[in-house]
Structures are given as structure tokens and as C-alpha cells.
Amino acid sequence: MRQFSRKAMIAGAFGALLMGVVLGGCSSLSTDHVDCNVVKLQSQSGRSDAEIASALGASVNDVAKCHGPEKSGNSETGGEPSPY
């Protein structure tokens, strides 16, 4: 009986771990976020927003959001990086 209990606990822990990995991986498949670095590189190579969106499985609007101003740097200094 003790062996069955131990095997059942191991199987249950493995199943819980597997479910956690599967559910965690599904969240990365959503198209809510587009990697703007990829969009920038594809745009520089001459591809249109529609082509990039098709290749990434995203909407054209999501791809177009990546063409906005850069978000790095210090907003208090007009976007210039800090000298420190």
C-alpha cells in the first residue's frame, strides 16, 4: 500500500508540473504582444506591415503600434539617455 501511495504522489506531482508548463506556454502564444524589434528589422528589409503581420500571425494594427516613437531614454530630458 505504501508503494502505491508513493507512486500516486509522484504521478500527481508530475501531472501538476506538466499542466503548469502547458498552461504557462499557452500564454506566450497570444497575439496581444508583437516583438517590435522583429517588426523594425522586417520593416528595414522592405516588408510591408501586412506582410509582417501575416508572418507573425498578428494584426496589422498590432504591427503598426511598433512604428511609434522610441520608448527608451529619460522622458524628463526629452528622451535623451542619462549621462550616468
pLDDT higher than threshold 60 for residue 61:
yes
Is residue 55 in a domain?
A: yes
- pLDDT, residue 51, reads 92
Structural domain count of the chain: 1
Is residue 62 in a domain?
A: yes
Angle at 12 between CA 10 and CA 16, to 5 degrees: 115
Helix/strand/coil for 72: coil
Share of the chain above pLDDT 70, in %: 64
Question: Which of the two residues, 76 and 40, has the higher pLDDT score?
Answer: 40
- pLDDT, residue 49, reads 92
Is residue 47 in a domain?
A: yes
Domain carrying residue 59: 34-68
